[in-house]
Structures are given as structure tokens and as C-alpha cells.
Amino acid sequence: MKKLKVTIIGYGGMGSFHAKLIQENPEVELHGIFDILESRQQAGEADGYSAYASLEEALNDASADTILIATPNDVHKEIAIQALEAGKHVICEKPVTLNSEELLEIMHTAKEMGRVFMVHQNRRWDSDFQMVKDLYEKRKIGEIFHIESRVQGANGIPGDWRHLKAHGGGMLLDWGVHLLDQLLYMIDSPLAKVAADLSYILGDEVDDGFISYLTFENGVTALVEVGTTNYVKLPRWYVKGTKGSAIIEDWNLNGKIVKQSGLEFVVAPKPIKAGQGLTKTMAPPSEEAIIKEKFEKVTTQMDPFYTNFAKVVRGESEPVVKNEEVYQLMKIIESIFKAAETGQIMDVREYSYSR
């Protein structure tokens, strides 16, 4: 089977990461790279890849099938449309564009040219997310009604173009685009409302973090939080269901599930001293009333991203990441920016994508 030949545009951190992903996948091979910085051109050549002299040369190379865009966010649309018009399939790093209207332009061009355009929303494949998705779908702690998803660090915003609004910097577009996509992909209900607060503790022109509150039409609520000034981190995931709770602490997948044993109404909790008073309501459940389990890693049946992309190009599969889903995601991100600016709760039901 002929491998797809991929050219990487932008050989920074993500571009070089994609080079490794391509090397590991039998469906694709790396054809060449291009970056506007000479140092990165040299880095690509040092890694064993051919470097094009210009973007135009890369796009006009008829022997390449696919363009991978791993540049700063503000030039995604321009490069994607040029590549599609040159007859290439296109993979684009997230966030796909600075706004939803730019994505519509790309989608129109891809349809017009008969080429595949996919966004690398790679964290749909993350092990921690797949564990929570499995928990949700299999009702392992009953009907899940509240989810908290967080990523936190204490290193500030990365010291490059991500500090600049013109380039599409800030944590909502950097990490929020991942965490929100995971929830929209997992929860089998349209999103109804969003509210949000953006953080500017570092005094930058873009957000250094945010908290967003989501309400889905089926009643599930979610809290999504990203922080870059957190010296003590909260858990990566905290999930509440009608029959138990679950937690994943970190990227190492340390976690646990605590659920009802069936004896919770037989063995009542005992009151505890809390500060200057007593409480039974906030006392821990009795040991007989609960079952504690390790939160086990699950095996996903999804093809890896590049395998799925190659199958889509050959007409053998539907894309795991659909452009209509990404469009909904971008509309919701726009609503979160507006919610934070106005202090209002935004109704986003008109942006719902029906599976």
C-alpha cells in the first residue's frame, strides 16, 4: 500500500513532534520540511529531512500528498487554503484558526478542491480522557452528572508567540481547545450554556488561564480550568455519578473509583467533630457502605490519528475528528471569550453539532 508523503510546515516543537509520529506510523512518511527560521531549517536537516527553500516550493512539489501545518495560529488559514488549492490534503494543528469564520473558508475550499482537511485534536486519544470516557459510557459510577477537567502548571505562558494576541496566543486557545473538545466529543448531549472567567494575573495581553462552566441539555455540568500560576495542582479529573465518584490525579494516571456497595442505607455514617461542631452530613461514609477500586487504564479501539487520516484519504473510513465538530468547538470558544468579557451566561444551543 502506497504511503502518504507528508510535508511539515513549521518545524518547531509541534512540527518535530509530528515528524516522530509520522516515523512511527506505517501509513505515512515524511517527505520534507519548511520553516521561515533558518535555525529550524537546519534542525530539520540535522534530523535527516530535506528542507524546502520556500513555502511555494513545498506546496508545488507534486510528489508530496499532504501538508502538515504546525505554525503559529494566525497563519493556519492562509497556508491551509494555499495547500488545498495546490491539490494537497491538509492536516492542521490546533487551534485550527483564530475564529470560526476562517474555518468555514477552509472547509469550503477543501470541498471545492475535493481534498481532505483534518484538525489534529490529538487529545481525544489521551489515556486519561479515554478512561473518563469509558467511565461515562459504561455508567461505572451510575449516571455521571458533573465533571471537572483541569490542567495546571506554574511556568506561566510559554515565552514565544503564545504571549501575543495577534498570533492567537493565550491558554483558552492553547489548552482550552483540547479540554473543551474532549467534553464535547464525550458527552452525548448538546451543550446549552457557558459562563467563564479569564485570568490575566501575569499582566499579559492574552489570558494566562481560565475557568469555564458548562451546562449540557441532558443536565450534565462541567468545570474546565486551565492555570499557569498553580504551584499546587488540583486533580486532572474529578467525576461525580449517582452511584459514586472517581478521580485521576495526574498524567501518570494515578486515580481511584469510590462507589456504593449497596449497604449505604444499612450502615449509616457516624457524626464527626468538624471544627467547633459536629456533622453527619459531611462525615465520610462507613467502610461497609463503599467499594474502592483502582481507576484502570482502558484500551481504545480508535485508529491512531495518522492511520485514520490515511483511511479517510483512501475513502475507507470516516474522520475521527470531523470539521463540523471543530467548527462547533470554535463557536463555543468565541462564546467563552464573550462570556468572560460581558460577565453573562451565554446560550450556545444554536452551535450544537448533531452526531
The superfamily (CATH) of domain 4-120 is NAD(P)-binding Rossmann-like Domain (3.40.50.720)
Residue with the larger pLDDT of the pair 267 and 234: 234
Distances (CA, A) of 95 to 26, 91, 176, 253, 329: 27, 12, 9, 26, 10
Is pLDDT above 90 for 162? no
The model carries a pTM of 0.95
pLDDT at 239 over 90: yes
- The C-alpha cell at 313 is 484519504
Which CATH code, of 3.40.190.10, 3.20.20.70, 3.30.360.10, 3.40.50.800, is assigned to 124-253+295-300+331-350? 3.30.360.10
The mean predicted confidence, pLDDT, of the chain is 94
Q: What is the mean pLDDT of residues 157-162?
A: 84
Q: What are phi and psi of 142, to 5 degrees?
A: 80, -160
What is the structure's pLDDT at 294?
Answer: 94
What is the C-alpha to C-alpha distance for residues 350 and 353, in angstroms, rounded to an integer?
9
Whole-number pLDDT of residue 265: 64
* pLDDT reading at 153 higher than 90: yes
Question: Alpha carbon of 159 to those of 153, 170, 208, 230: distances in Å?
Answer: 14, 11, 12, 17
Cα separations (Å) of 12 from 91, 122, 161?
Answer: 16, 17, 12
Tens digit of pLDDT for each residue in 54-108? 999 999 999 999 999 999 999 999 999 999 999 999 999 999 999 999 999 999 9
More confident residue, 167 or 331: 331
pLDDT of residue 289: 86
Give the pLDDT score at 204.
Answer: 80
What does the pLDDT look like over 265-310, one tens digit per residue?
666 778 888 899 999 888 888 888 899 999 999 998 899 999 999 9
Q: Which residues contact 6 (CB under 8 A, 6 or more apart)?
A: 18, 22, 28, 29, 30, 31, 64, 65, 66, 67, 68, 91
Element (DSSP H or E) covering residue 56? helix 55-59
Greater model confidence, 197 or 159: 197
pLDDT at 352: 67
**47 and 35 Cβ atoms separated by less than 8 Å:** no
Region 326-346: what's the mean pLDDT?
Answer: 97
Length in residues, the chain: 355
Hey, where are the domains in the chain? Answer: 4-120, 124-253+295-300+331-350
The tens digit of pLDDT for each residue in 10-68 reads 999 999 999 999 999 999 999 999 999 999 999 999 999 999 999 999 999 999 999 99
Q: How confident is the model at residue 271, as a pLDDT?
A: 87
Which region, left, alpha or beta, applies to residue 114 given φ > 0 means left and ψ of -120 to 50 means alpha?
Answer: left
Question: Nearest to residue 354, comparing CAs of 219, 212, 221, 217?
Answer: 217
